Structure formats: structure tokens, C-alpha cells
Structure 1
């Protein structure tokens, strides 16, 4: 049975957690394929918020098997705390499993992340200091420690000793800080290994077996397309492949396993931290209105998000890279009450229209100009509307223009944070995919 992939198409925070939770109900597996605990997925059910950082969003359903895949980097302390927090509110986590090939985030990774950012000053990327980048650096440098390593006491001892001897040279000689303690980290992580050992599986073979048994599989990413290490606004990106292509390398599956590529975009744009943002709203009053109404604060860091108008020029690029065949629009309700709503339809630089989304940061730094079309707003509260036909006329014009520009059908529209606050626009496709 072909699998479904769910990806964010902007700079993250598109509401992937809510949508994954919604779609997971009719799935047998939810697989997280990249990223670490630097991202957060918020789920809102019956006036209760759940924030997930590493655990896949299908965890609220006892019948769904949740796998943290080989492409994810795991901070075991964070994962154990997350499991405890989820269980404390009555959610069973017995179906949460961890890929043995996933790499471990260590205390020295977090320190190196912090020290590097501090040393860069105003040229820093704006990371969360969770050690995600340094963990992926070690993975690529073939120095990483995997989950399967810390389940073997002798192997973990040797690899940790080698890493700490090397990392302490950097910490003490380059950053002039105190060295980390091998003994403390070793003993700490041995306790984590005991606790996580029952959850460790050979995820690659498990996923392949599930596919051949025609199980319904939903692949869930973190962050979003414009933060992709290869195709995002480099260097202001994350350190993994957030695109649909990342599913294959992050889960160990061939492209033939995948069929439906579902992209999620907000009805406007946000961005956390530094980096290009051509449609950022400079009007402080308008930006504040959207931020407060949309509750645009980081699920992980609580940092206020920069707010901007919907950018269809970048969204078209994201859809192309990801091969998106269905689109989901979230937070449409946030735009209610506005007199005029803008949509970016092209970029210009020095008066010339750019043919494609820029690859180099220098073009953005030369002041890319976002060119807008204005749409009349709607004054109606749409958060309790469940049928597309009942939306205000101007609201439907806004949605129809998005579909026309992108040449894509919108599958579903989210009009509130609750699990039930959705409008299924393309019912035939939705129920064909998720029934």
C-alpha cells in the first residue's frame, strides 16, 4: 500500500502536528524521519495542548505504532522526559519505538552548539542550542555515536572516550571553556540506555515489513522545506533534509514506497530566528495582530515568530522540489477581520523579475522585493465553519487563487487549533487517501 508523506512548505510552524494527529487516526504507522528535539509539534485536543519534540504525532492513538527513524538525532534525556510527560497525562507510549541506527545527541554537542553561536556574534545562525547541528556534523564526519552503540557497554565506552578526548581539545583550546567529564557523561548515558533499551528496534526492517503487509504508513517531518540543508535559504537552514526526499534517506525506504506527497502551508508566513524573509510585515501593528491571534511563538523555544504575508513564489518552489500533489492550508481563521490581505506572486531585484527562487543568500541581502496582489478580507468568524461552500465569498476567492497559482488542489483547510476545526475541501481525494 503506497505511503503518505507530510511536509511543511515554508519556514516551519505550519501546524504539522495537528494535521499529522488528524491523519494518523487512519494510519497503522507514523514515522518521524529527520531532525531532533529542536522542533516542536503542538497538538490541541479538548482544550489541552500537547507539545511533542521527538515522539511522532500519532502517539495519542493506542493502535498506531510510532517510530523515531534512523535519520533523526536523539537526545535521550529529552526523549525520556517527553515520554514521562506524555504518560503523566494518561497517554500510553508503549507503541513508541526508536531506530537503532539513529544518532545520539551528547552533552558536548549542546555545549559546542552554544559556544559556536556565541563566538559568531551577530553572524550567528540563531540555533536553539540543542546540539542538533553538531550531532549531524559528527554523523557526517563518521564520529557519531548511534543508539545501537550505547546499548553495548564496551563499544559505547570506547567511542565516548575517543569523542570526549577530541571534543575537549576544541572546548578548551578554541573556546577556552572547561572540559566535559567522561565519567559523568558515561554514567548518565548508561542509565538512559537501560531505560530506552526495550524501545530500540531495527526500524528499517520493521518499516519494510509493514509496507509489504500493506499497512498504512504516514511519514512525518520536522521543520520545513525552506529550512532544508540542500534547498532552503542556506546557510539559515537546519542540518537535515526536510524535503520529501529526506524520507528515503531518513527511513531507509525506496521512492517506490511513496505516493501521496502532502504539503502544509499557513495562510500567511512566519519565520523564527535569522535569515531571509521577503514578505515579512514591517508594520508593527499588523505583525503584532497576526502574531497574537495566531499564537505565533515557538513551541520549543517560545521565541516570537516573525510574521509575513503568504509567499506563493517560494511556495511554488517548495511544491516543485517536494513533488507535492495535495495541499493543506492552515490557520486561515487568523486572517479574519483584516480589511486587505496580500499575497506575494513574484520577486524583483533592481526592478527585474526573478525567474526562479534564488539559490544564493547574496540576492536576498541585495533586498529582494516581494511583489503583491491585494485581496479583500472578510469580517466573518470562520472558526466554526465545516463546509467549504459556507465560507465567505472573499475567503473562497483567496483560496481559489492559491490553487490556481500553484496548480494544485487544496485537500483540507484548518480554521482553528482544535483537532475538529477543519474543512475538507477535496472530499473525494481525502477519503480515498485516508479511509
Structure 2
């Protein structure tokens, strides 16, 4: 039975939550494999809207087991708050599993994140300030705190001491901040132990046994391909691997078990934070996309930068992820434009470039080369099949499919759970 990876094929915010939720009734496990509460999903169920930051979208499907894998960094206060909020709304969260090997975002990680961004000034990366980057840095530097450490006070204290030996020097001598007390951090972290205990498990074992038992497992990436630490627009990226390979390391499942990789594409392009964005619009069209598409970050609350669809990026996402399918979202937002430009290539120093340049310098200087497609004015939110779409909307989808290099198997025509056209089944 399939193990599916579902990930963002642009800079994140493509509508992964809706796609995951749509599949939730057909899968047994939904797994977050990287990132932290710097990622956000909005899922609309009936007249209810749910904003999820750290939890897998499968938390809203009663038959599904949601899993936070070892590749995720966990802020315990955020997680418990999110669980409490869902419980108050009648959502059963008791099936959640958290990897004991997932790393904890500590209070000092958050402090370091914020003061570092402030110190960088105009060179700042545009992080969410939630401690994600410093937590991954601690993980690589082997001074990180893992969920399992909450259950051994001696080990926890030793690890916090090791981390703060260096960090307090930086905070006091470089940033002129007060030193953080080891005892205070240990006490705060230990307070979460009993509350998290019912959820902690060996998720690597659970997931591999599930696949051996022919269960369907969906791996849900946070952020997007162009924010990948290795394959994104470095250094304006996240601190983990949202690409398909990250699902294997972030969940402990071998690549031979992955049967399908689904990329989520918005019918236009958005980005949050700093960094290059060739198709970004600074005119009325950009503002209209932002307004009609409700383009504001679920987690950050920041307005998203908006631009036309970029086929160069889509082709790149197909290549580095080995995408088998696309889920095209927010097609309805484009209703009303007489003409819709699509970026098919870049111009860099007078050269036409049709693939994403590997050079950071070239990408910063890339100018979009557009082809214009005819738009449509008809309401498409009630469309139930591809043939229900206006002819120009059909042609737009077909053009994006051809340019992007993988079949479009589903189309979002509205925010609701049922406002989706399924062309080919993902399972």
C-alpha cells in the first residue's frame, strides 16, 4: 500500500492543509516530518476554519492517526496550546503521536532567534522569530534537547548546561543581554513532561510497522521546496528539508517505501519573508491577488508577497522532488482577469534561461519572461468536474500542467473541503 509525500512546490502557503485534509479520510496516518510552528495550515471543514501550526492536518480526521516525526522541532507550549484549542472545539486529539527523538524548542532558542535577526538589521533572513533555526543548529551541534530528555532530569540538566555555556557568552558579550539561568530552563521544560507523556512514542517503529501492515501513510511537508535548506533560495530559506527526501530522514522511513510524491501548486505565486521573487507584483494586480486570495500567513500574520505563476519554479520542484502529481490550488482567485501572465522563463543578463539558475547571483537578477493566457469571468466555485470549468480555465490548467512537468490530478476551486475537482485519485 502507498506511502505518499505531500509537499509545497513553491515558497510555502500553497494550500497543503486542504490537500492533506482531503486525503485524510483515505489514509491511516498523517505525518509531519520537518519544520516547527513556523509552518501554518488553514483547513476549512463546513463552516469551521482551523488554523494549524504544529499539528498535522490529519488531526481533524477521526479515523486518522496524526504523527509528529523525529525531524520536527517542537515548542511544547505551542503544541499544548494548540491541542487545548482543538479539544475545546470538540476535536479528539488523543491519537496524536510524538517522536521521542524530535527536538525541543527551548526558551533560549527563541531568544537567540529574535536577537540575531535584530542584530542582522537589513541583512536579516526574515525568520518567524520562533526559535526554529537555533534549535536545528543545536541539533547539528549536538547540544540539542530532545523530547525523550524530558524524562531524565540529569541528562536534561547536562544538556541545557552545555548549550548555555556558549549561548550565555554570546547573549551577554555580543548582544548585551542578560544570561539565562540553567535551573530556570530545566524547571520550565520539566513542567511539560507529564502533559506530553501520553503522546510520546517510537514513531519510526510505529510507521514502519504500519506500512508493513498495508496501512496508508501520508507524509506532510511544511513550508515549500524553494525554502528547503539545501535546494531553496539560500540563505533565504528555512532550517530543514521540506523536499521529498526530508520525509525519509524526518520520519525514519526508507525511500523504497515512498510510492507517490504530490506537489501543491498555487495557481499564482506567493512568498513570505525576504529573498528573491522574480514574478512579484507591486501594482494593483498584486494587491488584488493578496486581497482576493486572503494572502496572510497563518502562523506569522504577515501579508504575503504576490506574483504570477512561475513555471520555472514548478519545473524545478518536479525535478528535485521526483513529483508524480500536482494539486493545483486557488484557481478561483484568478477569476475576473481578462489576461493572465505566466512566467515561462527568465532573462538574465540578456540570456533566456528556462531552468532555475544554480547561482544565487543569477537568480537575484532574474527577470520573468511572460506568456499571456486568456482569463475567464465565470464563477468556478461550484464546479465538480474538469468539464464544468470555463474553457479558458481548462486551458490555463492544461498550460500549467505542460509547463510544470507532472500531471495535475486535483484542482482547488474554493476554500471549502468539498470545493475540489479530483481528476485522478491520489490513492
Shorter-normalised TM-score: what interval? over 0.9
How far does the alpha carbon of each residue in 1:50-91 deviate from its partner, in whole angstroms, 9 at most, with x for none? 111111100112221111000000111111111101111000
Offset, 1:355: 4.8
Q: Which residue pairs with 2:113 in the alignment?
A: 113
Matches within 5 A, 1:29-428: 29-283=29-283, 285-365=284-364, 367-426=365-424
Query: For 1:58 and 1:313, how far apart are their aligned partners in 2?
Result: 31
**Contact map agreement 1:265 1:328 (CA 8 A) in 2:** yes
How far does the alpha carbon of each residue in 1:98-144 deviate from its partner, in whole angstroms, 9 at most, with x for none? 00110111011011001110011011000000000000001011111
SS of structure 1 residue aligned to 2:230: coil
SS of structure 1 residue aligned to 2:150: coil
Query: For 1:373 and 1:6, how far apart are their aligned partners in 2?
Result: 29
Query: For 2:367 and 2:286, how far apart are their aligned partners in 1?
Result: 18
SS of structure 2 residue aligned to 1:149: helix
Name the CA shift for 1:2/1:46 in 2 (closer, same or farther; >3 Å).
closer
Query: For 2:401 and 2:286, how far apart are their aligned partners in 1?
Result: 25
**Contact map agreement 1:312 1:344 (CA 8 A) in 2:** yes
Query: For 1:64 and 1:379, how far apart are their aligned partners in 2?
Result: 39
Query: For 1:319 and 1:238, how far apart are their aligned partners in 2?
Result: 19
**Contact map agreement 1:233 1:359 (CA 8 A) in 2:** no
Offset, 1:406: 2.6
**Contact map agreement 1:234 1:360 (CA 8 A) in 2:** no
**Contact map agreement 2:315 2:405 (CA 8 A) in 1:** no
Query: For 1:118 and 1:359, how far apart are their aligned partners in 2?
Result: 29
Offset, 1:31: 0.8
**Contact map agreement 2:318 2:406 (CA 8 A) in 1:** no
**Contact map agreement 1:38 1:132 (CA 8 A) in 2:** yes
Offset, 1:376: 1.0
SS of structure 1 residue aligned to 2:192: helix
**Stretches (4+) displaced over 3 A:** none
Query: For 1:355 and 1:411, how far apart are their aligned partners in 2?
Result: 24
Query: For 1:254 and 1:344, how far apart are their aligned partners in 2?
Result: 36
Query: For 1:178 and 1:215, how far apart are their aligned partners in 2?
Result: 51
How far does the alpha carbon of each residue in 1:226-250 deviate from its partner, in whole angstroms, 9 at most, with x for none? 0000010000000001100001110
Offset, 1:282: 2.5
